[in-house]
Copies of this chain bind each other. A is one copy, B any other.
Amino acid sequence: MKFGGTSVADLERIRHVADLVKGEVDAGHEVAVVVSAMAGETNKLVGWTRTLSPLHDAREYDVVVAAGEQITAGLTAVALGAIGVPARSWLGWQIPIETSAMHGSARIERIEPKLLRERLAQGQVAVIAGFQGIAPDHRISTLGRGGSDTSAVAVAAAIEADRCDIYTDVDGVYTTDPRIVSKAQRLQRVAFEEMLEMASLGAKVLQTRSVEIAMLYRVPVRVLSTFDAAAGGTLLCDEDAIVEKKPVTGIAYSRDEAKITLHRISDQPGIAASIFGPLADAGVNVDMIVQNVSADGKKTDLTFTVSRSELPRALDAIEKARDIIGYRDIISDDNVAKVSIIGIGMRAHPGVAQTMFRTLSEKGINIQVISTSEIKVSVLISEEYVELAVRALHSAYGLDAG
Contact = CB atoms under 8 A, between A and B. Distances in A.
Interface residues of A, number: 39
Interface in A59-115: 59-64, 66-68, 70-71, 73-75, 77-79, 81-82, 88-89, 91, 93-94
Contacts of A57: 77-78, 81, 88
A82 B54 CA distance: 9
Contacts of A204: none
A15 interface: yes
A48 interface: yes
Contacts of A60: 74-75, 77-78, 81, 88-89
A45 interface: yes
Nearest to A56: B78
| Assembly stoichiometry (copies) | 2
Given A57-B81, A78-B57, A63 B70 contact: yes
Contact of A64 (B55, B61, B75, B140): B75
A305 interface: no
B74 A53 contact: no
Given A77-B57, A89-B60, A71 B45 contact: yes
A94 B64 CA distance: 15
A51 interface: yes
Contact of A70 (B59, B70, B88): B70
A74 B63 contact: yes
A363 interface: no
A138 interface: yes
The 9 lowest CB-CB distance pairs between A and B, nearest first, are A63-B74, A64-B74, A53-B82, A67-B67, A60-B77, A56-B78, A60-B74, A52-B78, A67-B70
25 contacts: A11-B51, A11-B52, A49-B74, A52-B78, A52-B82, A56-B78, A57-B77, A57-B78, A60-B75, A60-B81, A60-B88, A60-B89, A61-B78, A63-B70, A63-B73, A63-B77, A63-B91, A64-B74, A64-B75, A66-B70, A67-B68, A67-B71, A91-B140, A94-B138, A94-B139
